[in-house]
């Protein structure tokens, strides 16, 4: 079994575990930095390992399919060799990007036709093609192709969308079982690949159902019946209020296998992730820590700060007391100056810091779950983070 649970929290659903993949073992709970184009914006693979302590990153199927294209990545030996990232990679299916192109897409039983954002050309993405792209990229974990319903969403639309996602899920699994081993580069070239574990590419299902509890339950049960290596909860963080986001998790997790990893897609803020961990979620991804970093927002134990604010002009302290040692030497005053001068280093320093903050939060969570003190840790963290006067 690729996923092993080590510790469970006595008074929440939080647990620690290890997810084994071909390119390494991933401790959970874990946050995955997003590398839309194959790597996290402004950062190098070495920095992600040495400073951020990333264990796995996320690549974007839609963007990598359009540019540089499968021919380039296939010729270069797959996404790991192309990017020089040797640790695990998860690829999304492209479904969320299609959802974000709502005005430019047409959904049918076969798949989704849309105008791509690069040149406006018509592109057809089907469940089978999504699986083929992800297999060719050679990610350790591939996501099934789903439809992400909008928020708000009428129940009839959500039900029809769920049905489509389930039918697509069956097609994804059928293609993957029949064809993946003929496309995944490190399964094709076993003599030249150095792998941590002799495991094939894994595939995760995605629970949909919008804000409707019965539909979330139905989706979870249907996906479990089909059978996947892990299960994500999708259609969250798409504009709904936080209580609806938490309810979506609560309405899905009880119907998912305890011995498979659970992944909340597209989340979130530090307090949100802690609340999700308490509800039994193991994996997260989000562009937030790097996106807001590029606008001057830094995460700290006392809540987020806007480094461009005048209050930091003479502040000689580091961004946070627990930032990575290599970042401790940079004062808030200096980083503020870099932002005001439009220096690229400012974006890089804050991106490194924010991702380190997220990965440290995961590490701290694992330690406290193992020690049986996660509830107190979560409450203490949220009390300080949400009630600080610094914000």
Token pair listed for 168: 């697509």
Annotated active-site residue in 146, 282, 285, 320:
285
The rounded distance, in Å, linking the Cα atoms of 218 and 346 is: 47
What is the distance, to the nearest Å, from the Cα of residue 243 to the centroid of all Cα atoms in its chain? Answer: 20
Q: Is 285 a catalytic residue?
A: yes
Residue by residue, what is the 3-state secondary structure of the chain?
CCEEEEEECCCCCCEEEEEEECCEEEEECEEECEECCCCCCCCCHHHHHHHHCCCCEEECHHHHHHCCCHHHHHHCCCHHHHHCCCCCEEECCCHHHHHHCHHHEEECCCCEEEECCCCCCEEEECHHHHHHHHHHHCCCEEECCCCCCCCCCCHHHHHHHHHHHHHHHHHHHHHHHHHHHHCCHHHHCCCCCCCCCCCCCEEEEEECCCCCHHHHHHHHHHHHHHCCCEEEECCCCCCCCHHHHHHHHHHHHHHCCCCCCEEECCCCCHHHHHHHHHCCCCEEECCHHHHHHCCCEECCCCCCEECCCHHHCCCCCCCCCCCCHHHCCCCHHHHHHHHHCCCHHHHHHHHHHHHHHHHHHHHHHHHHHHHCCHHHHHHHHHHHHHHCCCC
Q: Is 92 a catalytic residue?
A: yes
Annotated active-site residue in 92, 229, 282, 320:
92
The rounded distance, in Å, linking the Cα atoms of 12 and 377 is: 12
Say how many Å lie between the first and final Cα of the chain, rounded. Answer: 45
The rounded distance, in Å, linking the Cα atoms of 25 and 17 is: 10
Count of beta carbons in the 10 Å neighbourhood of residue 349 = 24
Q: Which of 311, 316, 284, 274 is nearest to 296 (CA)?
A: 311
What is the distance, to the nearest Å, from the Cα of residue 159 to the centroid of all Cα atoms in its chain? Answer: 25
Q: What residues act catalytically?
A: 92, 285
């Amino acid at each position: 079994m690729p996923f092993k649970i080590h510790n469970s929290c006595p008074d929440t659903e939080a647990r620690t575990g290890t997810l084994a993949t071909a390119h390494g073992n991933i401790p959970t709970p874990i946050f995955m930095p997003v590398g839309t184009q194959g790597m996290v914006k402004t950062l190098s693979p070495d920095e992600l390992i040495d400073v951020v302590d990333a264990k796995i990153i996320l690549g974007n199927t839609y963007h990598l399919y359009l540019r540089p294209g499968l021919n380039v990545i296939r010729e270069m030996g797959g996404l790991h060799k192309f990017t020089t990232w040797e640790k695990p990679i998860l690829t999304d299916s492209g479904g969320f990007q299609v959802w974000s192109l709502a005005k430019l897409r047409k959904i049918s039983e076969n798949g989704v036709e849309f105008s791509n954002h690069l040149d406006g050309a018509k592109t057809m993405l089907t469940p089978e093609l999504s699986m083929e792209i992800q297999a060719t990229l050679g990610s350790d974990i591939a996501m099934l192709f789903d439809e992400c319903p909008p928020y708000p969403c009428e129940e009839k639309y959500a039900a029809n969308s769920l049905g489509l996602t389930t039918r697509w899920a069956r097609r994804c699994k059928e293609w993957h079982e029949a064809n993946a081993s003929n496309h995944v580069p490190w399964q094709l070239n076993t003599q030249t690949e150095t792998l941590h574990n002799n495991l094939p590419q894994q595939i995760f299902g995605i629970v949909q159902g919008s804000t409707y509890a019965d539909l979330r339950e139905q989706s979870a049960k249907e996906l479990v019946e089909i059978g996947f290596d892990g299960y994500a909860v999708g259609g969250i963080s798409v504009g709904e209020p936080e209580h609806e986001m938490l309810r979506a998790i609560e309405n899905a997790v009880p119907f998912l296998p305890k011995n498979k990893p659970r992944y909340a897609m597209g989340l979130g803020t530090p307090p949100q992730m802690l609340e999700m961990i308490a509800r039994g979620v193991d994996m997260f991804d989000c562009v937030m820590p790097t996106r807001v970093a590029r606008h001057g927002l830094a995460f700290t134990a006392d809540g987020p700060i806007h480094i461009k604010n005048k209050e930091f002009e003479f502040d000689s302290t580091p961004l946070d007391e627990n930032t990575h040692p290599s970042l401790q030497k940079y004062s808030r005053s200096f980083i503020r100056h870099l932002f005001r001068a439009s220096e690229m280093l400012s974006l890089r320093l804050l991106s490194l810091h924010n991702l380190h903050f997220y990965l440290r939060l995961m590490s701290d969570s694992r330690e406290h779950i193992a020690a049986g003190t996660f509830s107190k840790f979560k409450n203490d963290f949220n009390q300080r983070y949400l009630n600080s006067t610094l914000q």
